[in-house]
Amino acid sequence: MKTLIQGGYVVGYNGKEHIIFENGCVVYENEFINYVGFPNDPKAHYRLGYELLNSGELEKAETYFKGATNLDPYFILAFKDLAYVTSQLNDTKNAIKYYKQALKLDRNDKEEHEK
């Protein structure tokens, strides 16, 4: 089971050096750390949602994907995975809404890069 904890100070390692995150968070499962960073980081929410999706915990994954999109309303991949999860939960209305948002963001991103 994936677990997210928050602390006053969290120490992470980026492959080169240790980094201290004030008011940081850690996502871990068993003895493996999946993420170290800030709790208001949409990538932290997305990563935990993705891990929960892969372990079949769809309702929990939905919560974290929504958190990621609330923190970053331009997070295309989070909208795509949120659409997938809601479709798997038979929430067709919201699945369509999230897919449309992902497509809209993706189209806008491509148009911006073509300028």
pTM value is 0.71
Q: Where are the domains of the chain?
A: 3-114
CA gap 33, 53 in Å, rounded: 17
pLDDT exceeds 50 at position 113: no
Predicted confidence band at 115 (pLDDT cuts at 50, 70, 90)?
A: very low
Per-state percent for the chain, helix, strand, coil, to nearest 5: 55, 20, 25
CATH code, residues 3-114:
1.25.40.10
Q: What is the pLDDT of residues 45-95, one digit of tens each?
A: 898 899 889 989 999 999 999 999 999 999 999 999 999 999 999 999 999
Average pLDDT of the chain? 86
